[in-house]
Amino acid sequence: MTTPQHPELIFLDLDGTSVIYEPHLALAPGLADLLADLGVRRGVRWCMNSDRLSRTQIHLAQQLPADMRPAAICSIQRYIHWKTPDGAYLPDERVNSEADRIHATLWKTLQHHFESWMEGIHRRFPVHEHVADEFMLAIQTTADAVPELRRHLTDLLEPWPEAFISGNIAWVFVVHREFSKGRVLSIVAERLGVPKERVLAVGDGFNDIPMLDGTRAGLCGCPANAEDGVKAAVAAAGGIISAAEGPHGTIDIIRRLCGM
C-alpha cells in the first residue's frame, strides 16, 4: 500500500502486538501516545480485540485516561463491552447472551470428554498450562508443537463440526465455529458506523487471521514476529508486514497508513 488510507477505527490484538509485560501488563507507551494523538487530531477510535478475558482487558483499558480508552472491548472471539461516557464498560447484552447460548450448547456435548482428552494430550505434548472448564478449553504448549496439537484436536473434534480450532503462537483454543475476532470486529464497526474500507486491524497470531484476511477490515497489518500464516494472509489482503516486532511494528503500521 503506497497511498495512506487514514483509518477511522483501529482494532488491536494485545499479546505480541500491543502490550508490554513489565512492570505489569499495559498498553505499550509509544502506542498509547500515538492512539491518543490520532483520537485528538483526527477523531480515530480504537478497540481491543483479544482472546484475553473481558475483565483483564477492562482492567488494562482503565489504566488509561478515560478519553484515551478503547471504544469497545472484544474478548475471546465472542463478547463485546462498550465504553460509556464516563469511561466504564458495559456488556452488549444481546450479543453476549447469544454467545453464551451458542457456547453452552456445544460445551454440553464436549465437556465430559475434556479429562480423557487432556490425559492423552499431556502424554503426547509438552503442556505448559491448560484451562478445561465450562468456559473454555485452552492449552499452552511450545511453538513447535502448536501445529501438531491443532491437528490432534481437529481429529478429536471431527464428530462436532460446529467446533473450531483457534489459537496463537503458544496457545491452542477450542471455540464454536461461529465465533471469531472478525465477527466481533464487524459487529462493532457496523454499530459505530464505520465502513470496512476505513477499518484497520493489526495482529500476529492464527486467531487474528479472520480480521486480517481482507474480508472484515479493509486495512490490515502485522508485526515482524507474526506467524507465517498471518503474514501470508496479510500479504494476500494487500496489508503491511512491518519489519519491526511487537508494539513497534504496530506503531509502524499505523503511522504508515495514517501518512505520519
- DSSP code, position 93: H
Q: Mean pLDDT over all residues of the chain? A: 95
Confidence at residue 251, expressed as pLDDT on a 0 to 100 scale: 98
The pTM (predicted TM-score) of the whole model is: 0.93
Phi first, then psi: what are they for 55, rounded to 5°?
-65, -35
Q: How would you class 56 by CB atoms within 10 Å of its CB: exposed for 0-12, middle for 13-18, buried for 19 or more? A: middle
Give the pLDDT confidence of 136-176 residue by residue, as tens digits. 999 999 999 999 999 999 999 999 999 999 998 899 999 99
- Residue 197's nearest CA partner among 214, 175, 222 is 214
Give me the mean pLDDT over the 228-238 stretch: 97
Residue 3 predicted with pLDDT over 60: no
Q: Are 253 and 5 in contact (CB under 8 A)?
A: no
Q: Find the mean pLDDT for residues 37-63.
A: 95
CA–CA dist 75, 132 (Å, integer):
18
Q: How confident is the model at residue 259 (pLDDT cuts 50, 70, 90)?
A: confident
Cα(109)–Cα(244) distance, rounded to whole angstroms?
43
Record the cell numbers describing residue 140, joined without a space. Answer: 499452552
How many residues appear in the chain? 260
Percent of the chain whose pLDDT exceeds 70: 98
Q: Quote the CA–CA distance of 164 and 89 in Å, as a whole number.
A: 29
- Rounded to an integer, the average pLDDT of 112-135 is 95
Contact 222, 212 (CB under 8 A): yes
Q: What is the mean pLDDT of residues 129-134?
A: 93
Residue 210: CB partners within 8 Å, gap ≥ 6?
180, 181, 182, 183, 216
pLDDT at 2: 41
Q: What pLDDT is recorded for position 6?
A: 86
Distances (CA, A) of 256 to 55, 200, 223, 240: 32, 12, 13, 9
For residue 57, report the phi and psi dihedrals to the nearest 5 degrees: -70, -40
Task: State residue 83's pLDDT score.
Answer: 98
Q: Is the dihedral of CA 83, 58, 98, 11 positive or negative?
A: positive
Cell numbers that stand for 186 in this block: 464487524
